[in-house]
Amino acid sequence: CNRGSLKNKAQCEHTQKVEQRAIEIGHCFLLGDRYTKAFNAIEGSSDIAVDKKPLVMGCYGIGVTRLMAATVEILTPKDSD
């Protein structure tokens, strides 16, 4: 069942669901228009002031501290409690 092609939830009901553990190491941040306003980075197709809006900015990446914590969790023997 490909989530991207779903028209409705019923299309995926016949598939087998599997629960798995995962570690989230990536992150996404919505920065908004904080930096684009400072640099006057605007969107708009004309010179009319009403059409001009600051661009909305975001970023994503791998968190170094999250990556280190995930590495320790994965490499720590289970019987070391």
In a domain, 6, yes or no: no
The verdict on residue 1 lying in a domain is no
Whether 16 is covered by a domain: the verdict is no
Could you report the per-residue pLDDT of 16-38, keeping only the tens digit for each?
778 888 888 888 989 999 999 99
pTM above 0.75, yes or no: no
Contact 56, 32 (CB under 8 A): yes
Place of tokens 């968190």: 63
Q: What is the pLDDT of residue 58?
A: 94
Closest CA to 66 of 18, 30, 31, 28: 28
35-54: pLDDT as tens digits = 999 998 888 766 666 678 88
Q: pLDDT averaged over the chain?
A: 80
State the CB neighbour count (10 A cutoff) for residue 15: 9
Which residue shows structure tokens 């970023």?
59
Query: What range defines the domain where residue 64 resides?
Result: 22-81
In a domain, 48, yes or no: yes
Is 27 inside any structural domain?
yes
Reference 28, options 70, 60, 75, 3; nearest CA is 60
Task: Provide the number of structural domains found in the chain.
Answer: 1
**Residue 6: pLDDT above 60?**
no
